[in-house]
Structure formats: structure tokens, C-alpha cells
Amino acid sequence: RKEVEQDPGPFNVPEGATVAFNCTYSNSASQSFFWYRQDCRKEPKLLMSVYSSGNEDGRFTAQLNRASQYISLLIRDSKLSDSATYLCVVNTPSASKIIFGSGTRLSIRP
């Protein structure tokens, strides 16, 4: 089983739609979680951290479910500029390494 798994997509949704991605992780000792956005041929950029209580940043909402070992990202009122690949990231300090999911491709159509 992969340490971090994501649905690769692609998700192709119309502008204004709401879209959600999930990401599961295998190591229960993992402690911090993030969502990154990667545009074509660019380095990943931090979108948001994921807190245990859930957190929101504008149109973006992130949730963490430790019992089921998954994190989620919800994008509301999607914009054309949201088209990108979204990567979930899991940090396991005891293993001194950070693991990226393979990414979910999102394409927003007009």
C-alpha cells in the first residue's frame, strides 16, 4: 500500500462548481498535513495547511479525519484559475520525511 494515495483524476468541472478531493495516508504516526497546488511545469506551492479542527481559506476548506486517516480539500465556486494539480502532503516526523501524494488533476471549463 502506498504511504499517501490520491485519486489521480482528472476532474473536469464547470466554472462555479464545487469539487472535493480526498487523500488517504497509511502511517498513523503522521502529524502534519498540507495541500499543495502545482501548475504545469512549475514547482508545488503551498495552498493550505490542514488542521485537526478543519480550516477554511476563502473558497477552500480542508478537513482531517485521523480515525480514518484521510484529509480532504473542498473548492467552492471554482474559477478557471483553479485548474492545476493538487497534491496532498503528509509529514511523519518520526521518519524524518515528507511524502507527497501523486496529485489530482483539476480542470475547470468555462
Shortest separation between residue 3's beta carbon and another protein, angstroms = 10
Cα(73)–Cα(26) distance, rounded to whole angstroms?
18
Q: Does 107 bind another protein (CB under 8 A)?
A: no
Q: Does 60 bind another protein (CB under 8 A)?
A: no
x-or-dash string of contact with another protein, 68-97, rule CB under 8 A:
-------------------x-x-x----xx
Cα(103)–Cα(101) distance, rounded to whole angstroms?
5
SS3 call for 91: strand
How remote is the C-alpha of 95 from its chain's centroid? 21
Q: Which strand (E) or helix (H) includes residue 12?
A: strand 11-14
Given 11, 21, 25, 34, the residue binding another protein (CB under 8 A): 34
Q: Does 21 bind another protein (CB under 8 A)?
A: no
Q: Does 22 bind another protein (CB under 8 A)?
A: no
Shortest separation between residue 16's beta carbon and another protein, angstroms = 28
Q: Does 1 bind another protein (CB under 8 A)?
A: no
Cα(11)–Cα(72) distance, rounded to whole angstroms?
15
Let me know if 99 is exposed, middle or buried by CB neighbors in 10 A (0-12, 13-18, 19+): middle
Residues that bind another protein (CB under 8 A): 34, 36, 41-46, 49, 51, 87, 89, 91, 96-103
